[in-house]
Structure 1
């Protein structure tokens, strides 16, 4: 067998066999959109964007980010025809920029998904606890509910990806359905200022702080690289991954823009910023749903908010366990991580390790007495946003270098122009995030800079793993 080189991660057959699955385009799209947690973004992030971002111009911010990511995805999808590896960004950066940079990217990916998953555990546990109390149950500490959620996610993540995709599919249809019903109800009944296209004008987009809106918008897309993560478990990866990537990014962007436009219409473009500031916690789940859906909305939306969070937890668990699998198969991390279950074909050892790391992170915040929403969720979401933008910039550079060096695809738009424009767009978003990072995490400048240091440390720690020899192909 030939030795693996710096041009790509090793693809040796791991102990226990390779990953198995028959997931198609719909299943992968479900997994990706579940990572984005649509109802969480609309119910949680949107009010903040309306209050301290650019107000009525928020819907256009979602579309701008969607266009940037579609440009980036053009090169990403073109490269997916030549790279099928569950390591996703790790594999892509390795093929383009070498193994050291690829492992640095893997460090950023693990930081991104571990951080955002930990943050969602905090919000999901608080939401679940509130629902239990609302229905006459006991008032228990948030971390107890977090442990329960970790256990359920661990069981589903241990098994075949097809089961997880089915669970996420059901939850996703429910949450998208109720947000769509709410949005349609708003436009049918009309808002206090009527239906207006003001939200999609340049003047609305540039008012207030569009940089804050952009960084919250890109945070809402975290997890879309999962289209490549599940390539080895897809029926036809060379066809499935590109289609799923375009569909997922377009669906998320259009859905967010439409739903946020409905919220702006429901309140009124001229006063949405003020009202959102007064109702950060319940603008969508309480104020708008109560007005347009009545008691049905107030009863159903909190439950679907929880299922949205649970869907995201399962999707991120699957992504992290597959990164562990890819790193174990490459030889950068212990080889036992590359073992797959003899019956499920899942990366079960990586799944177990991911469960343990999630418990450790949650234990740190619980012992410190941190607030599960104001600190755990907010801080970890901000850290994940910064990390994933740097990771996507690395992947963008890798795409450009890969096609320039190999010439395996001579379509200029797909291999040079689109990924180049996408990279410039991501660079602009990175500048906006760094300029408003303290606001994003709701903390002090010292805390913000410590998180920037964590991103640098994650890349350096990942790069250091290149000292371990890659395994044979």
Structure 2
């Protein structure tokens, strides 16, 4: 028996299965991107804290960069037919240890963004219930209830989650498109224009913060590959779903955020946002769609964020499941439920993790919108930009070494351009971190302080965890090390 034939090394039989098509997977990942959360949460903050009325253009910039990245990602999904996504691809291209680094960076990304949205969701629920005459209940209590509900759905078969996400996604997209139509038909506050896309608008203010919030709104699209084992005809389904997600998200966000600027006029919109960024979308809906729009967005903003955290929960549960199958997490996390065919232990683990984080934020008395949502969305965006840049390098190296894909555009040009865009985005986001978290110097000017450094340190600590764990496994469990990231790369 060879080393690779050892029971400790053979691929695990504990695999997921299903028949998700392009539409179902697109619903899953676009729900993670959460269109209404992006338009109601990220867009107002992007205008207020970022580059003002030029924020809609950053959705276009983000879409172009991520589409270039997706070309290489689609090629890799065909030649590395494994469900581990980032950490598997990096493992194949750059070796096992670096693959494990990618795994922990992915865990940081999705855990941070999920925690961010749970904070926003708890805040919106608290305000909504109080406005309807209900009791004044703190935001984190609502967040914990939502975590429990997501846990129940995540425990069951993926088809149930995809159906729930599909219904909620159609409703929220329909409402936003109704607002866009109303703004266009009425001509907005002061006429329709392309002011948000003019170069002077795009580079105004703090474009790094704007880019962070724009790219954060796409997080989740790249998770199409994680559903490979549950996809129907994955060689075609996964690439198509990835392209459809990026193009759909980018076009929708740019159009909807442009409509928000036009709704109040380029000269006045920032003043309206500054009054209360958390209720800006509700105020705009009320103005253009009346009571129906106001009530609808109140309800759908809650369901949209619920859909978002449900989708991220499913993604994290499957990442942990893949890591456990590769020997990078406890074996029990790789278990598949005999009836629901879900990674139920991994799902329960993620439910507990999310609950602990929300309790910690509550103890620290963090503001759910300006701190929990903004800070951790920033961490997640920086982490995923670095992670995708690393994946781009791995794709270029792997395809060059194996010669499995000789198309220059797919194997070199597009991934290299995507790498440049992602590296530049990561640098810009990191440079503007103090603006985002509110760190200032003695004169009140933005400057790196304790909060900025602490949050940025997370993107360094998690890679170190990956390298340390890889070294430990290699020294203590050499046969398991061979199995890491399910790769036989050196």
Corresponding residue for 1:426?
422
Contact 2:49 2:435 in 1 (8 A): no
Counting only pairs closer than 5 Å after superposition, residues 173-252 of structure 1 correspond to structure 2 as 173-252=170-249
Corresponding residue for 1:253?
250
Q: 1:378 aligns with which of 371, 374, 378?
A: 374
- Structure 1 residue 460 and structure 2 residue 464: aligned? yes
* Cα separation, 1, equivalents of 2:326 and 2:174: 41
Report the CA distance between 1:213 and its aligned residue.
1.8
* Cα separation, 2, equivalents of 1:3 and 1:234: 31
Report the CA distance between 1:209 and its aligned residue.
2.8
* Cα separation, 2, equivalents of 1:177 and 1:3: 55
The aligned length equals: 467
Report the CA distance between 1:10 and its aligned residue.
6.8
SS, match of residue 196 in structure 1 = coil
What TM-score results when the alignment is normalised by the length of structure 1? Answer: 0.95
- Structure 1 residue 122 and structure 2 residue 119: aligned? yes
* Cα separation, 1, equivalents of 2:209 and 2:123: 25
- Structure 1 residue 56 and structure 2 residue 53: aligned? yes
Report the CA distance between 1:281 and its aligned residue.
2.4
Contact 1:89 1:105 in 2 (8 A): yes
Q: 2:309 aligns with which of 310, 313, 318?
A: 313
Contact 2:33 2:218 in 1 (8 A): yes
Corresponding residue for 1:34?
31
1:164-184 deviation per Cα after TM superposition (whole angstroms, max 9, x unaligned): 010000111111110010011
Corresponding residue for 2:444?
none
1:201-244 deviation per Cα after TM superposition (whole angstroms, max 9, x unaligned): 32332233322221211111111111101011101111011000
1:86-120 deviation per Cα after TM superposition (whole angstroms, max 9, x unaligned): 32111111111111011101111111111111121
Unaligned runs of 5+ in 1: none
Report the CA distance between 1:85 and its aligned residue.
2.6
- Structure 1 residue 394 and structure 2 residue 398: aligned? no
Report the CA distance between 1:62 and its aligned residue.
0.6
Q: 2:413 aligns with which of 392, 417, 436?
A: 417
1:27–1:110 CA distance, 2 compared to 1 (3 A): same
* Cα separation, 1, equivalents of 2:2 and 2:450: 49
Contact 2:49 2:436 in 1 (8 A): no
Corresponding residue for 1:324?
320
Report the CA distance between 1:443 and its aligned residue.
4.4
* Cα separation, 1, equivalents of 2:352 and 2:73: 32
Corresponding residue for 1:82?
79
* Cα separation, 2, equivalents of 1:85 and 1:448: 36
1:227-281 deviation per Cα after TM superposition (whole angstroms, max 9, x unaligned): 1010111011110110000000000000000001111111112333333333422
* Cα separation, 2, equivalents of 1:53 and 1:378: 12
Contact 2:74 2:242 in 1 (8 A): yes
Contact 1:4 1:470 in 2 (8 A): no
Report the CA distance between 1:3 and its aligned residue.
4.7
Larger displacement relative to structure 2 (67-76 or 49-58): 49-58
* Cα separation, 2, equivalents of 1:332 and 1:317: 19
* Cα separation, 1, equivalents of 2:89 and 2:304: 29
Counting only pairs closer than 5 Å after superposition, residues 148-163 of structure 1 correspond to structure 2 as 148-163=145-160
Larger displacement relative to structure 2 (271-280 or 173-182): 271-280
* Cα separation, 1, equivalents of 2:188 and 2:4: 61
Report the CA distance between 1:374 and its aligned residue.
2.6
Aligned-residue Cα RMSD (Å) equals: 1.8
Contact 1:70 1:246 in 2 (8 A): yes
Contact 1:81 1:238 in 2 (8 A): yes
Unaligned runs of 5+ in 2: 441-448, 474-479
Corresponding residue for 1:12?
11
Corresponding residue for 1:335?
331
Report the CA distance between 1:123 and its aligned residue.
1.2
Q: Name segments (4+ residues, structure 1) moved above 4 Å.
A: 1-5
Report the CA distance between 1:11 and its aligned residue.
6.8
Q: 1:269 aligns with which of 246, 266, 270?
A: 266
* Cα separation, 2, equivalents of 1:210 and 1:382: 14
* Cα separation, 2, equivalents of 1:192 and 1:355: 45
* Cα separation, 2, equivalents of 1:394 and 1:337: 26
* Cα separation, 2, equivalents of 1:427 and 1:277: 31
Report the CA distance between 1:301 and its aligned residue.
0.6
* Cα separation, 2, equivalents of 1:406 and 1:73: 20
* Cα separation, 2, equivalents of 1:332 and 1:212: 34
Report the CA distance between 1:4 and its aligned residue.
5.4
Corresponding residue for 2:446?
none
